[in-house]
Amino acid sequence: MRLGQTQRSCIQLLVLQASSFCNIDCRYCYVRGRDRAERMPDAVLDAVARNLIPSRLTGAELSVCWHAGEPLAVPRAWYEDACTRLAAAARPGQRLVQHVQTNAMLIDDGWLETFQRHGFRVGVSIDGPQPIHDANRVTRRGQGTHRETMQGISRLRAADYPFDVIAVLTAPALDEPDALFDFFASLGARSVGFNIDEIEGPNTQSSLAVADAEGRFRRFLERFLRRHADAGEPFALRPLTQLRSAIAGRVRGAAMIANHQVEPLGILVVGADGALSTFSPELIGTPEPAFGDFVFGNVLAGGPEQILRNPHFRRLRRAVDAGRRRCARRCGYFDLCGGGAPGNKYFESGRVDIDETLYCRLSVQQMLEATLRHLEAAGEDART
């Protein structure tokens, strides 16, 4: 399967880290400094508005995602001001689409008003029913957080505010496809996506790094997909949606699906102190002298062009390109993946110029195989 390659000429996603602080302490979390309460200063926010939003490297539509730690731990008034400043900086005709990824525990009527006023797309992190969720998504005292997250979701539902879900799959969750499907079918989410318990940042071990993980993951997906189809697809299932979109694009003669994590500036990350990074968002600030700790400038000093001139960025770009070429030569899934995630490659191996990883075998290969077989069984054209 060789669909060609896609190159993006502008920033597709702007990830803003208002703070690394989080009000909980998930056992698989990759975020560094989630006990630090420092917040993005006004000077950095002003520099984002001045140097990034109107940049010629941003598109007519720009997704702005508030991520890292728990974004809603920063006061609502701060976001009201931030969203107003960023919107005022947009070029004529440019549209900013605000996103937030949250554990939902802090959602109240005030937050709902803010979401509605600024058109936020809300993503909720919840791993499933209480026993599965509370095994890893815990407070600093080790107490489960399922009840509080469900309270936040109940507020979203009562306000008829749409939300999406991301669930992290750990090894025990793979044995519970029916319990997870029943839970998500009852949740009222617009879409559900899966991440895996991966080796990333401070999370140096994965419960899925076991001999039978691939078979268990495949069986989980096959059962979940079957239940999803039998129920009439009550929510959008992200891997299914993405694969259908890729197949439809191929039928129209489109190129390979975009992988923003291997495209320079496809994703632009701004730390709370103004630090600039690109490729995988999880890399920013990771101690690594060869790549300048994956920091390639500061928004206080100018726009994204400074990244392209940074010698550490150039070295990383060569390594990322080498890994992508290696994937293209060796992997039959390349056209539906685009070369993997540099962050995942680095955290598993200490390098970004490699191809296959545990994350790749599960989240790409097994995910695609199970979804392709599901589409074929359903009579959909899954040829690529």
What pLDDT is recorded for position 324? 95
Of the listed ranges 42-46, 79-83, 336-340, 350-354, the one predicted with least confidence: 336-340
Q: How confident is the model at residue 33 (pLDDT cuts 50, 70, 90)?
A: confident
When pLDDT is averaged across residues 258-272 and rounded to a whole number, the result is 93
In-domain check, residue 106: yes
Contacts of residue 253, defined as CB under 8 A and 6 or more positions apart, other chains included, come to none
When pLDDT is averaged across residues 89-115 and rounded to a whole number, the result is 97
What pLDDT is recorded for position 292? 97
Q: How confident is the model at residue 47 (pLDDT cuts 50, 70, 90)?
A: very high
Q: How many domains does the chain have?
A: 1
When pLDDT is averaged across residues 357-382 and rounded to a whole number, the result is 86
Q: How confident is the model at residue 204 (pLDDT cuts 50, 70, 90)?
A: confident
Which pairs count as long-range contacts for 137-142, CB under 8 Å and 24+ apart, including other chains?
Answer: 137/24, 137/26, 137/103, 138/24, 138/25, 138/26, 138/27, 139/23, 139/24, 139/25, 140/24, 140/25, 140/35
In-domain check, residue 372: no
Given a contact cutoff of 8 angstroms between Cβ atoms, the answer to whether 324 and 339 are in contact is yes
Of the listed ranges 16-20, 35-39, 148-152, the one predicted with least confidence: 35-39
Quote the CA–CA distance of 131 and 141 in Å, as a whole number. 17
Q: How confident is the model at residue 63 (pLDDT cuts 50, 70, 90)?
A: very high
Q: Which amino acid is at 254?
A: A
Residue 36 predicted with pLDDT over 90: no
Computed over every residue of the chain, the mean pLDDT equals: 92
Quote the CA–CA distance of 65 and 122 in Å, as a whole number. 10
Q: How confident is the model at residue 54 (pLDDT cuts 50, 70, 90)?
A: very high
Instruction: Give burial (CB, 10 Å; 0-12/13-18/19+) of 155.
Output: middle
In-domain check, residue 173: yes
What pLDDT is recorded for position 256? 57
Q: What backbone torsions phi and psi does residue 298 show, to the nearest 5 degrees?
A: -145, 135
In-domain check, residue 343: no
DSSP string, 10-75: SEEEEEE-S-S--SS--TT---TTTT------HHHHHHIIIIITT-TTEEEEEEEEE-SS-GGGS-
In-domain check, residue 328: no
* Verdict on whether the full-model pTM lies above 0.85: yes
Residue 42 predicted with pLDDT over 60: yes
Please report, rounded to a whole number, the percentage of residues in the chain having pLDDT higher than 90: 80
pLDDT single digits (tens) 307-342: 999 999 999 999 999 999 999 999 988 988 899 999
In-domain check, residue 55: yes
What is the extent of the structural domain holding 60?
11-251
Quote the CA–CA distance of 233 and 15 in Å, as a whole number. 31
Residue 383 predicted with pLDDT over 60: no
Instruction: Give burial (CB, 10 Å; 0-12/13-18/19+) of 92.
Output: exposed
In-domain check, residue 318: no
Q: Given strand 276-278, what is the order of strands in its sheet?
A: 236-237, 191-196, 163-169, 121-125, 95-102, 58-66, 11-16, 267-270, 276-278
In-domain check, residue 65: yes
When pLDDT is averaged across residues 163-184 and rounded to a whole number, the result is 97
Closest-CA residue to 174 (of 216, 215, 211, 126) = 216
CATH value at residue 135: 3.20.20.70
State which H helix or E strand residue 175 sits in. Answer: none
More confident residue, 143 or 337: 143
Of the listed ranges 28-37, 74-83, 170-179, 281-290, the one predicted with least confidence: 28-37
**E strand residue ranges, 73-190:** 95-102, 121-125, 163-169
Q: How confident is the model at residue 4 (pLDDT cuts 50, 70, 90)?
A: very low
Residue 3 predicted with pLDDT over 50: no
When pLDDT is averaged across residues 33-42 and rounded to a whole number, the result is 89
Looking at residue 188, the DSSP 8-state letter turns out to be T
